[in-house]
Structures are given as structure tokens and as C-alpha cells.
Structure 1
């Protein structure tokens, strides 16, 4: 039986453009794109086709949830919580994960100081846009390809709240990452 979340009406897009063939890799026997679409629908958000024109989203008057196919196991509950937060407070909500890798500065082509990981996050899913933000934007598929760049643009123009996403929402960049995520999200039998 599907879970039900008390969420406002909203439209959601599973982002697949410019992500190569990885959206069609399998996780738990399903393509990443199917897992991401299921999560979006299970959260109570109405999925729309990526080919939907932005003007149509604006005309709906509803918030828009951008869900990256490379974060296929983002829990429906987290998508729903981010949507409610964005609508209640009328700010953009961006799901992020902590950075665990060592990150170095590069200055004039030379490796420099190590950046403090506590000051860094990695954008994942979702990015939730309240209706006023949707109305103030005119985005096409090319604008939705790089969520980190989109997040930077949004932070320059609108109030933004970063919400730490659960580990299951981690972004995958390779088949090895998919295998790790599959192990992380395996349901134990017994």
C-alpha cells in the first residue's frame, strides 16, 4: 500500500538530460529513471514530462520540484518535507549532502590550501521552487542540466534554504556509485 503525504499540489520533473546512459542503469532491478519517477510520484507530487514548457509550469500556479535522476533513491518523505518547507516559507529549498572528499584550492595552476569540508556541501535532490520563483524564471532543459550551477543562480536571486538530505539521496556518478547506493538501500530480509 502506498504511503500518503500531506503535501500541497505541486508539479515535479525528473531530470534526465545531459546525464549520459547512467539513468538507465539498474538499481534493485529497475532503471534509475524509474526509481526516481516512483519516488516523486510516491511523495504526492504530480510528475510532468521534461518536455513541458516553462510557461505551462508558470500557468499552473503550483510549486515545481526538480528531482535529479542521479539521486534515484531520494526518499519520498524527504521530497514531501522539502515541498512543504518551500511552500510554507516561500523560499527555494535545495537538498544537499555533506562533502567527504578532500578538496584543494587551485591558484594559478598550482595546488593550494585544503578547504574545510564543514563549509562545503554537494547539491542533490530536490530543488523545490515555490510558485513566485517559478513565475520569475524561464528555464529550459539546458538550465536544468547542472543542478549545482542552478543552485548558485537561485542563491543569488532568491531566499534559499539548504536541507541536509538523507544518505539514500546521494548522487551517483558511475556504475560503481550505483552499486554502493544499491547496497546502502537494500532491504534486509528476515
Structure 2
């Protein structure tokens, strides 16, 4: 992310069972997601952080789903830049069934949306985006295939194969 652009963010693992702690490339999914958030230049906040403090920061807020652990850091950073430039909510999406878009990760709230929100965003990304669309403009951005959401250990194995580093 640009040196002059800052954002706060959190990796969401609540209400996802034990799957965020499954291993991919030898690391927990939640750990990989946290690394991507940090590499994108987003300052992580603990989920116990008071929402008022996040609002007072006057910064965008990034939600990254632990079940989208291999979302590239540069994609997260580009979503933050777009949210700030357009002052719109930005959501990473993948093709879903019947041509619909499936919410992936991240969901970026620009500072104006953070200010307008009286409580922290919901952990259910689909419900969150539905709620956001009622009151705010939402821009969807096609996410890379590696940003896919895993729903089972079999999905983790498939994603691991897709993201296996190539050896020179």
C-alpha cells in the first residue's frame, strides 16, 4: 500500500468453527490471513478493540476472512486504495452459482462508512455486505482465484495445490 495511506483491519475467525486453524502450507489459515493483511500495510487491531476507538482513528477498516487465507496482499492493498479513492465500500468477489457474485475477501469500509456505523461490522460477510448495500454504495472487485473461500478441509487441500510455490 502507499506509504501515506493507512488502514486498520482485522482477520475474522469467529463463527467459523475450527477450520481457521486447519493448516495450509504448514501454517494455520488464520495465520496466513493475518500475514496477508500485514503485508498489505494494514495495521491489525484486536477484535476486542472498542469500536469507538476505530471510529476515532478516522481510517478505513479492512475485514479479512480467515477462510480466504490466500488472498494476495497486493489485492487487499488495491481494495483499500480503491475504497479511499472512491469513498465507497469495496468488496472482493468471486464468480458464484448462476452468474451471481460470491463475497470473498476483503471487505473494506472507507473512513466515512466507519464513522456512520454505530457498531462493529458483522462477522458473516454475506450478511454484512447485504446490510452495507442498504445504506452505502458498494463496489465489487473481482478477486483472484487464490482468494477463494474454503468451507472444508478438502477445500483447503485444493487451495494448497493452487497456491503451492513454484521452485526455480
Per the normalisation by structure 1, the TM-score is 0.85
Q: Hey, what does 1:114 align to over in structure 2?
A: none
Q: Residues 130-149 of structure 1 correspond to what in structure 2 (within 5 A)?
A: 130-140=110-120, 143-149=121-127
Mark the structure with the bigger radius of gyration: 1
4+ residue segments displaced more than 2 Å: none
SS at match of 2:106: strand
* Structure 1, gaps ≥5 residues long: 102-116
SS at match of 2:131: helix
Query: Quick one: distance in 1 between partners of 2:68 and 2:157?
Result: 13
Instruction: Report if the CA contact (8 A) 1:96-1:122 is conserved.
Output: yes
RMSD across aligned C-alpha pairs, in angstroms?
1.1
SS at match of 2:115: helix
Q: Hey, what does 2:102 align to over in structure 1?
A: 122
Q: Hey, what does 1:178 align to over in structure 2?
A: 156
Q: Hey, what does 1:76 align to over in structure 2?
A: 73
CA shift, 1:188, in A, is 1.7
SS at match of 2:41: coil
1:169 correspondence with 2:147: yes
14, 17, 26: which one aligns with 2:11:
14
Query: Quick one: distance in 2 between partners of 1:35 and 1:173?
Result: 16
Instruction: Report if the CA contact (8 A) 1:97-1:170 is conserved.
Output: yes
Query: Quick one: distance in 2 between partners of 1:182 and 1:37?
Result: 17
CA shift, 1:145, in A, is 2.1
SS at match of 1:162: strand
CA shift, 1:139, in A, is 2.8
SS at match of 1:144: coil
Instruction: Report if the CA contact (8 A) 1:15-1:144 is conserved.
Output: no
Instruction: Report if the CA contact (8 A) 1:14-1:37 is conserved.
Output: yes
Greater mean alpha carbon deviation, residues 49-58 or residues 36-45: 49-58
Per the normalisation by structure 2, the TM-score is 0.96
